[in-house]
Amino acid sequence: MIEMEDHCELERENMISDSKSAVDNEPIKWFDELYNRADGNSQMIPWAKMVPNPIMMQWVRDNHIKGKALIVGCGLGDDAIGLEKLGFDVTAFDISEHCIKWCKNRFEKSSVKWQVADILEPPMSWINQFDLVVEIHILQAIPDGGIRETAAGNLPRLLNNGGELLCIGRLDDGRQTIIPPPWPLKKEWLIQSFNQLKLIQFELFSYPETKEVTRYYASWKKENIN
């Protein structure tokens, strides 16, 4: 079991490192390079589970949220499809053109609005629009020193009054030894980044297949903003 996990981790690191080298280690461009290299083979995408994130699905069911949802950095699209099935009007975007093309091919009949966009510069038409914004493994996938902070700063702007932000990722609890990306995030950094929203919950968990990795899911609500 441990050997299998080590092998997967090594493969993940190699795929990411090859894609990064191909674009001179540019901190965001390598995502599109990776999707392009994968050429339709989802096993080449280290984060693609091909099912909606189970924590997100449970959280949405438990919190009875409805309306317009935005999936940030949607990857191969399963989270967007999961929310569509729960009745949301879903917009899903990613910085990678190859990724969005892949989503459109995969889910031809879906009514999800797939879009190429950058969380560093979201379209003005999205500001104050969404009842739910979902960020899974995005902030941890981009480096700090400006880019990650800008991305985090843009998330609350996308919520409407009463809208909720759900973030899921790896927690930096001082014990994580992964070669980045991803960069596990500190709880203090997350709390500080969204301090203009009301923190609703911050929970830790781990998946059975990677028990040694501490993860978090956390939600915030936009309230009383004129």
Ligand X SMILES: C[S@@+](CC[C@H](N)C(=O)[O-])C[C@H]1O[C@@H](n2cnc3c(N)ncnc32)[C@H](O)[C@@H]1O
What residues line the site for ligand X (CB under 6 A)? 28, 31, 47, 73, 75, 94-96, 99, 118-120, 136-138, 141-142
> d(Cα 34, Cα 98) in Å, to the nearest integer?
9
CB closer to ligand X, 138 vs 152: 138
**DSSP secondary structure of the chain:** -HHHHHHHHHHHHHHHHHHHHHTTT-TTTHHHHHHHHHTT-GGGSTT--SS--HHHHHHHHHHT--SEEEEES-TTSHHHHHHHHTT-EEEEEES-HHHHHHHHHHTTT---EEEE--TTS--GGGTT-EEEEEEESSGGGS-TTTHHHHHHHHTGGGEEEEEEEEEEEEB--S---PPSSS--B-HHHHHHHTTTSEEEEEEEE--GGGTTS-EEEEEEE--S--
How near is the Cβ of 224 to ligand X at its closest, in Å? 29
How near is the Cβ of 179 to ligand X at its closest, in Å? 14
CB closer to ligand X, 75 vs 163: 75
How near is the Cβ of 216 to ligand X at its closest, in Å? 14
CB closer to ligand X, 3 vs 39: 39
CB closer to ligand X, 167 vs 197: 167
How near is the Cβ of 123 to ligand X at its closest, in Å? 12
CB closer to ligand X, 64 vs 145: 145
Q: Which residue is nearest to ligand X (CB)?
A: 73
How near is the Cβ of 143 to ligand X at its closest, in Å? 10
